[in-house]
Amino acid sequence: MNNVIWKTPGQTGTGTTYYFKAKYECAVRILLAKLEVINAELSIGLGRRVISSTSGRVKTWESIQAKAVKKGYGKADEKALEHICDIAGVRAVCAFMDDVYLVANALKAHHDLRVIKVKDYLKYPKSSGYRSLHLIVELPVYYQGGAEWMRAEIQLRTSAMDFWANLDHQLRYKRGKQEAVLIGEELKEYSAVVAGLDEKMMELRDRIAAI
């Protein structure tokens, strides 16, 4: 495949294959709708809000190209795009750590959602201290003339983990190598503190519920 176009509605161009950004945007909207329904169902059953916030995005073409190079493909052609699973991505921030698994299990129960891979960075954090639960999924996006199964990534984490991840990104961004190492060591320590806080908050919740 010599020429892949990242095409949006209304654009014109030539190329063997067109990857419509609109389809990935539809995948994001569908996943956000699913999370909204799951949040309503779980919240009614538990008597409290399970998902605090959700967000979604589609990678820019520049970001896709950079990831293709990073993965060793040299350019973002059809073969490379098949191996980039997070072109479409959504994130759900949960109140408690066990809520993350409740939401994940609810997603797995959807018949029109294929879970391709699970990356559990809660049980097995990254070396940086990053913690989150990632699901690589496929879902059908319907359009005139048929449907296409689109791949996307769902990130599930707690508010404390989300706070840590955002600060990690901000503090490391455009830092020198030596600075990044020093910052990274300290952030990894704080990640353990965050995990401890999540555990204590679950314990407190359960004590309150038992009263």
Catalytic-role residue among 153, 189, 199, 203? 153
Instruction: Summarize the confidence of residues 110-121 as an average pLDDT.
Output: 96
pLDDT interval class at 173 (50, 70, 90): low
Domains of the chain listed by start with CATH number: 21-159 (3.30.460.10)
Within 57-158, where are the H helices? 61-70, 78-82, 97-108
Identify the sign of the CA torsion 107, 111, 112, 114. positive
| Residue 150 near residue 88, CB atoms below 8 Å | yes
Asked if 203 is an active-site residue, the reply is no
Query: pLDDT per residue over 141-162, tens digit each?
Result: 988 778 889 999 999 999 999 9
Query: pLDDT per residue over 5-37, tens digit each?
Result: 555 544 544 443 445 688 899 999 999 999 999
**d(C-alpha 28, C-alpha 162), whole Å:** 19
Q: Which residues contact 18 (CB under 8 A, 6 or more apart)?
A: 5, 7
Query: pLDDT per residue over 66-101, tens digit each?
Result: 888 888 887 767 777 778 899 999 999 999 999 999
The pLDDT mean for the chain works out to 87
